[in-house]
Amino acid sequence: MPDPAMPTLDHADLLQLRRWNTPTIYNGWEQMTRHDAAADGFNLEPTTDFMPQMGPMVGYAVTVQSRPSDPAQAEASPNAWVDYRAYVASVPGPKVVVLQDLDKPGCVGSFWGEVNASVHMALGCVGTITDGAVRDVDEMTAAGFKALARRMCVGHAHAGPVSWGVDVEVFGRTVRPGQLIHADKHGFLAVPSGEENGLLDAAVFMDRNECETLIAAARSATGKATEKVLAELDEAAQRFGAAAARRFRRRGEWS
């Protein structure tokens, strides 16, 4: 398990990663990963980005589980909020709170609202991914706290931290504390431990590779005969694959 106290990228790299959307980061990751790029790393269920205008969020995962339907949890763990906030504060930022709603597929209350978003921002968090609900969406947006969630709801019910600093499952993906998270309106990528370094360079390379080969050929097709367009696309696909193979020993999806 990655050590959440030891971020692997510096702040400048994280800011650079925020300049790209999550599919672009995925394109770089799939070239360098040891995992199955068709099954690992990203959400397998639909997410909703309630603040798409904020663009991508990037940070290291802090994890928590909540069961808003259970009125007994506060009595069972009277110091849960204090201990949970101390855990979040102990981890270097920026942080993304990955919250598993244990009521799923039910949804009776939201861990998130204006107050909790503001508290977590004070603790160095930039947003959340939760397979439960959010509320106070306008106020959370104004605070600068981004949320990917399953739905909205009205109340908080009995929402509170049940356990934290543990592996959680959200949107069909297990996320471990300390994993690098990149998320936007398309969904999220939880980068497997050990694959953070080189991710930015790989994503930038693959974006440039697309722009200089297939995208360039496709956007210069106006007025050309169909046979010439097909020939140029085929040639561009070969150049795309060759460039990817030279860099990563993989030819990519278009060749």
Residue with tokens 């068709």: 38
Beta strands in 67-110 (DSSP E): 95-101
195 near 147, Cβ under 8 Å? no
In the three-class reduction of DSSP (H, G, I as helix; E, B as strand; rest coil), residue 181 is classed as: strand
Torsion of CA 171, 87, 17, 20, to 10 degrees: 40
Q: Which helix (H) or strand (E) is 74 found in, with range?
A: helix 73-76
Instruction: Kindly state whether residue 58 falls inside one of the protein's structural domains.
Output: yes
Neighbours of 85 (CB within 10 A): 16
Q: What is the pTM of this model?
A: 0.92
Angle, CA 125 vertex, CA 92 and CA 188 arms, to 5°:
100
Q: Where residue 140 sits, what CATH number does that domain have?
A: 3.50.30.40
Judgement on whether residues 147 and 85 belong to the same structural domain of the protein: yes
Judgement on whether residues 137 and 244 belong to the same structural domain of the protein: no
Judgement on whether residues 32 and 151 belong to the same structural domain of the protein: yes
Beta strands in the chain (DSSP E): 48-49, 57-66, 95-101, 125-130, 133-134, 146-149, 151-152, 161-164, 168-170, 173-175, 180-184, 187-191
Instruction: Kindly state whether residue 202 falls inside one of the protein's structural domains.
Output: no
- Adjacent-strand bridge partners of 17: none
Q: Which amino acid is at 223?
A: G
Residues in the chain: 255
In the three-class reduction of DSSP (H, G, I as helix; E, B as strand; rest coil), residue 244 is classed as: helix
Judgement on whether residues 186 and 218 belong to the same structural domain of the protein: no
Judgement on whether residues 36 and 68 belong to the same structural domain of the protein: yes
Angle, CA 244 vertex, CA 243 and CA 248 arms, to 5°:
125
Question: Phi then psi for 224, rounded to 5 degrees?
Answer: -95, 150
Judgement on whether residues 26 and 141 belong to the same structural domain of the protein: yes
What pLDDT sits at residue 135? 96
- Give the C-alpha separation, 34 to 106, whole Å: 35
Judgement on whether residues 173 and 240 belong to the same structural domain of the protein: no
What pLDDT sits at residue 74? 62
Q: Taking Cα atoms as reference points, which of 144, 140, 141, 147 lies closest to residue 124?
A: 144
Rg of the chain taking only CA atoms, in angstroms = 21
- Adjacent-strand bridge partners of 124: none
Range of the domain at 47: 11-194
Judgement on whether residues 156 and 221 belong to the same structural domain of the protein: no
Q: How many domains does the chain have?
A: 2
- Give the C-alpha separation, 58 to 22, whole Å: 10
Judgement on whether residues 223 and 149 belong to the same structural domain of the protein: no
What pLDDT sits at residue 60? 97
What pLDDT sits at residue 38? 86
- Give the C-alpha separation, 117 to 121, whole Å: 6
pLDDT per residue, tens digit, the chain (255 aa), is: 344 445 678 889 999 999 999 999 999 999 999 999 888 999 999 999 999 999 999 999 999 999 988 888 766 677 899 999 999 999 998 999 999 999 999 999 999 999 999 999 999 999 999 999 999 999 999 999 999 999 999 999 988 999 999 999 999 999 999 999 999 999 999 999 999 999 999 999 999 999 999 999 999 999 999 999 999 999 999 999 999 999 998 777 755
